[in-house]
Amino acid sequence: MSLKSERRGIHVDQSELLCKKGCGYYGNPAWQGFCSKCWREEYHKARQKQIQEDWELAERLQREEEEAFASSHSTQGAQSLTFSKFEEKKTNEKTRKVTTVKKFFSASSRTGAKKVLAGKLREIQEAKAPSPSIHRQASIETDRVSKEFIEFLKTYHKPGQDIYKQCKMFLEAMHHKRELSIEEQSECAQDFYQNVAEKLQTRWKVSPERVEKAMDQIEKYIMTRLYKYVFCPETTDDEKKDLVVQKRIRALHWVTPQMLCVPVNEEIPEVSDMVVKAITDIIEMDSKRVPRDKLACITKCSKHIFNAIKITKNEPASADDFLPTLIYIVLKGNPPRLQSNIQYITRFCNPSRLMTGEDGYYFTNLCCAVAFIEKLDAQSLNLSQEDFDRYMSGQTSPKKQESENWSPDVCLGVKQMYKNLDLLSQLNERQERIVSEAKKLERDLIDWTDGITKEVQDIVEKYPLEIKPKNQALAAIDSENVENDKLPPPLQPQVYAG
């Protein structure tokens, strides 16, 4: 079965939801496409490599310190003051360098082994003593969960005692590992889940059904206590991602069901109720403290979506209909701390729930919906880039309530408000057209001016202007011609006597 819809531009193939290592389980974008089991294997490989490198570094540092100590010891008689300073410097340097790898290895030297052994004994004594941060006054919910957990374990008799003891030891160990990264704490929790489940199956021969119930109660017990320390910790950028996603969803408030090809008709009262319930469930996820309860909210939301599609189409919903409707529900609900909740479930949920079953399938679809929202563009909604940018900037909105569709019970002020918004939208469009035409006219004038200038230059180049010298003025007829006297002399008047 594929998750494709050519009409809306949403392309999610079912194979893309599986682990990219090919184990057959569902993958998760938060685990780089691996399932929980394969991701843990990859993490173990990287961790073993880091431990090996740290071990080699520790051995090299130990050799350097022993050589430095032997060199300074040979000159102790002549340089007692210098040796004292060197010994103090050596001790400080050793403490600083070995601290980072001390939690993984024991010291290779005899004197170092004694110090490490003494430190381990102190840590065991501190673990046995009640921790004030773990055993501080618990909330009402924590007390209730503890009582329910104890009552549940009574039905398991001796295995229940062993489970309770291991849970207490795990909580104390996690208290001393708070300086570790959230990924390392997650790895510790996943290892604890796996070890307890294997012990119940192999040592105590508990049936798979009872093992699953026990693991659910164990997760509820320990995560209720660890929630405030491991949910959205300050050492991660989960809060920053939450704000980015929340801002993105707010900017996409104008997206309509028709743009996503959502097969849900909210005008049907039953469908409208289902949509409201789905939004309520996805928002309620943030109020839960246990990963399994958060997954239950996602599952309930998904089932309401399937019911809404079924009522609208009068036929069972398909995966092609579910994913775009889930995207629409997330856009409409804008769940708080969405990325933090997804990361929390990924890190501390029982891996068997995420790899199989409907909970894992719905959770994977939610991750795909969030990824689609983060990359949503004009092509995904079959819009032009210009319209998409205008909708994103808030210049206009595709939502227009027609007057004939108003219910008679709607307030007149609301009708007038939408009417005014429609008028403002029309005026804004007219203004944009005028500005666009004015810019076009300006460009045309500039082009016309450039064209005329070019034509004039071509004519001037083709017919260059030649300025000839001014001609000399002609001399008077009766004036004396000194240089060239070729004219006959002037006539003289003659008088005849009559």
Rounded to whole angstroms, the Cα distance separating 163 from 142 reads 18
As to burial, measured by CB atoms within 10 angstroms (0-12 exposed, 13-18 middle, 19+ buried), residue 309 is buried
Rounded to whole angstroms, the Cα distance separating 438 from 41 reads 64
Q: How confident is the model at residue 1 (pLDDT cuts 50, 70, 90)?
A: very low
Q: How confident is the model at residue 116 (pLDDT cuts 50, 70, 90)?
A: very low
Report pLDDT for 422: 79
- 3-class secondary-structure state, position 5: strand
Domain limits, the chain: 142-230, 239-393, 414-447
Is 88 or 153 the better-scoring residue by pLDDT? Answer: 153
CB–CB of 246/338 below 8 Å?
A: yes
Residue whose structure tokens are 């570790």: 180
Instruction: Answer whether residue 380 shows pLDDT above 60.
Output: yes
Is 341 or 85 the better-scoring residue by pLDDT? Answer: 341
Domain 142-230 identical in fold to domain 239-393: no
Instruction: Answer whether residue 371 shows pLDDT above 90.
Output: yes
Is 414 or 162 the better-scoring residue by pLDDT? Answer: 162
pLDDT digits (tens, 9 = 90+) for 292-321: 999 999 999 999 999 999 999 999 888 899
- Per DSSP, the residues of 432-482 read HHHHHHHHHHHHHHHHHHHHHHHHHHHHHHHS----PPPPPPPPPTTS--S
Rounded to whole angstroms, the Cα distance separating 263 from 310 reads 9
Q: How confident is the model at residue 110 (pLDDT cuts 50, 70, 90)?
A: very low
As to burial, measured by CB atoms within 10 angstroms (0-12 exposed, 13-18 middle, 19+ buried), residue 470 is exposed
DSSP state of 483: S
Report pLDDT for 41: 78
- 67-76, 116-125, 380-389: range with highest mean pLDDT: 380-389
Q: 28 φ, ψ to 5°?
A: -140, 130
pLDDT digits (tens, 9 = 90+) for 434-479: 998 999 999 999 999 999 999 999 988 888 877 777 766 555 555 5
Tokens of 496: 């005849």
Q: How confident is the model at residue 388 (pLDDT cuts 50, 70, 90)?
A: very high
Instruction: Answer whether residue 286 shows pLDDT above 70.
Output: yes
Q: Are strands 3-5 and 10-12 parallel, antiparallel or unpaired?
A: antiparallel
Percent of the chain past pLDDT 70, that is, above it, reads 73
Is 197 or 78 the better-scoring residue by pLDDT? Answer: 197
Report pLDDT for 140: 85
Mean per-residue pLDDT over the chain, rounded? 79
Residue whose structure tokens are 């450039």: 450
Report pLDDT for 445: 93
Domain 142-230 class in CATH: mainly alpha
Percent of the chain past pLDDT 90, that is, above it, reads 47
Report pLDDT for 260: 93
Report pLDDT for 221: 95
pLDDT digits (tens, 9 = 90+) for 149-202: 999 999 988 889 999 999 999 999 999 998 999 999 999 999 999 999 999 999
| Mean pLDDT value across residues 337-353 | 95
Query: What CATH number should be reported for the domain whose range is 239-393?
Result: 1.20.1050.80
